[in-house]
Structure 1
Amino acid sequence: MLALTQAVLDGVMIGGVYAVISIGLTLVFGVMGIVNFAQAEFLMLGMFVAWFLWAYCGLDPLLAAPIAFVVVGGIGMLTQELLLRRVMNAPPVAQIFLTVGLLIVLENGALLLFGSDYRSVSTPYQAEALRLGPLFVSVPYLLAFAASAVSGLALWWFLRASPYGRAMRATAQDPMAARLSGIDADAMRRLAFGLGVGLTAFGGAVILPYLTVSPTVGGQFVVLMFTVVVIGGLGSIAGAVVGGLFVGIVQSLSGLVFPIQLQNLVLFCVFIAVLALRPEGLLGARR
């Protein structure tokens, strides 16, 4: 029972980060209707921004995370304006090929610029853990979870209370009606893409204290991100949160039963079952 409780606690810590890096993917789909296959490469860019700020400025990755959000969010807005805007009304296959091509360009561009070495950071709290009775909580995991929770709440407030957030939700519901109401739908899509990839970059920065970064690190997360949003419901912000926590807990619990190489076996069995029985996801709406 103690091992089970510890596994659930670890799963919640990991799942909170999964939720934040996946919210960006579901936000982009919800507003733009595009599935961004390059989303994980923006996580890689966020990790590199945080690593360079740590290596050359001595900035803790958690403090560098907001800078990674701004830098990568700006790159995302530029990408949407120059590339994705041109395929908004194109067939879905054109959108898929564009984002897959963007994935290849970003990954190989990072390999060309940074090399294939794995890089890590060193922080004073890297090996620290808090004791809660018989349970232990890793400090890097706890800080990453806390930063992810704060960013998720900030996004929720932005979408619910700010004028830009309401305009973005209106654009997601009906772009034509939004335009007739005086909303610049193109600007809202640009903002949504910037926010989406920026949040993913933020999540990449906060997990840097316990992971290494390389140009191919996106491959470790891309399948997990799509698993999270499909289980939760593609296009649902709340679904991404529920899906992230669900995936983290399932991963952690399966580690008690299976060796590390098969840790995701149960997760993908559940994923297939969700696709078969409830393809719109746990909180998604049927279309």
Structure 2
Amino acid sequence: MEIFSQGMQALIDGLLTGGVYAMIGAGLSLIFGVMRIINFGHGDFVVLGMYSAFFAATALHMDPYLSILVVAPLAYLLGFAVHRLILSRLLGASEQSTKLASLGIGLVVSNAILLGFGTQPQTVDTTYSTSVWVMQVGTLELRFSVIRVVAMVITAALIFLLNRMLFTSEIGKAIRATGQNRLGAELQGVDTRRIYAVIFGIGTVLAATAGVLLLPLLSATPTMGTIFTNKAFVITILGGLGSMPGAIIGGLILGVVESLGSSIFPLIPFLNNHFGSNYRDAYGLIIFLLVLLLKPEGLFGRTVKRV
């Protein structure tokens, strides 16, 4: 009974955390789906969002989640500028050049954070950080962390707005056309270089906003961008490269797997001795490897036949 109760609670926590993970994966998946590049600096923009929220909370005395109203526009401008000034010059270059450029951008971001804030881990507390909603279901007492629920609601709202923009606006149509056929879009008068900059800006917004949402839940360090980049890769591979619905499902799966693994395994002596709760990130990688073995194209990816 204890394992079942812990499992239900871990499932709830995992779904709420997985929603924020989905935003990280959605940003990387959107960039790849349209631009066909892998942004190795994606996780560093997540960390940049975390430190931006920390600065807003400590220097401006602003609620970290309210700071999204400031962080998101600035993140878009940063991503747009990075593409215009650096990545746009590599259009048509080798794939390795783009990968190295994105990796270099990530290193610049992480070292700038390190220079500005030092190595000390940072976090913030809000008035609702420890608040919990309790729901009684039969003999089970389920607890919903208010801060996780708020993060999930903000994530769902942003992804909904992004989806509406992609499918109802003129720029959304241009983005989808560019992702499907760049040359065809250009023949129809679409400025694909501008679209690429817009997409990179949106991807940066999603990454930075996810960082803001995660800050009250985690301690930020300047060098933890690699962790989030790895999570984004796991999410996009789980869901299928370039698939937005897949990124959302992949994020939820990763959150649930990590939460269940770190909560239930310690209750089982044999598993606790070999795995325990200190291997939280490893559980997602195990699922990642299983998906690669059983469905290499991802849950929502398309199989490409080679002839």
Matched, 1:209 2:226: no
Matched, 1:276 2:293: yes
Find the aligned partners of 1:103 and 1:156 in 2 and give their Cα distance: 27
Q: Does 1:171 align with 2:178?
A: yes
Q: What percentage of aligned pairs have identical amino acids?
A: 35
Structure 1: gaps (5+ residues): none
Query: Which residue matches 1:221?
Result: 228
Q: Secondary structure at the match of 2:129?
A: coil
* Between 232-241 and 202-211, the greater mean CA deviation after superposition: 202-211
In structure 2, C-alpha distance between the alignment counterparts of 1:151 and 1:113, rounded to whole Å:
29
Superposed CA deviations along residues 92-147 of structure 1, whole A, max 9, x for unmatched, are: 11111111111222111221222112222121111111101110011111111111
Match for 1:54: what amino acid?
A
The letter of the residue matching 1:173 is Q
| SS of match in other structure, 1:72 | helix
What letter is aligned with 1:200? A
CA–CA distance in structure 2, aligned partners of residues 114 and 262 of structure 1: 28
Structure 2 Cα separation of the partners of residues 269 and 123 of structure 1? 34
Aligned match of 1:24? 27
The aligned residue for residue 132 of structure 2 is: 129
Distance 2:210 2:283 in 1: 25
The aligned runs of 1:17-96 (5 Å cut-off) are 17-96=20-99
Displacement after TM superposition at 1:3 (Å): 1.7
Partner residue in 2 for 1:230: 237
What secondary structure is seen at the aligned counterpart in 2 of 1:78?
helix
Q: CA RMSD in A?
A: 1.2
| Pair member with larger Rg | 2
Query: Residue 257 of structure 2: which of 250, 254, 257 is its match?
Result: 250
State the 1:222 CA deviation: 1.7
Distance 2:234 2:178 in 1: 26
Q: Which runs of 5+ in 2 are unaligned?
A: 266-274
SS class of match (2:303):
coil
Q: Per the alignment, in what secondary structure is the counterpart of residue 260 of structure 1?
A: coil
CA distances 1:129-167 after superposition (whole Å, capped 9, x unpaired):
110111001111111111111111111111111111111
Deviation string 1:12-60 (CA, Å, 9 cap, x unpaired) is 0011000011111011111111100000111111112111111122111
Deviation of 1:71 (Å): 0.8
TM-score under structure 2 length normalisation:
0.90
Asked if the contact 1:66–1:202 (Cα under 8 Å) also holds between the matched residues in 2, the reply is: no
SS of 1:63's partner is: coil
Q: Name the amino acid aligned to 1:140.
A: I
- Pick the aligned partner of 1:261 from 246, 267, 278: 278
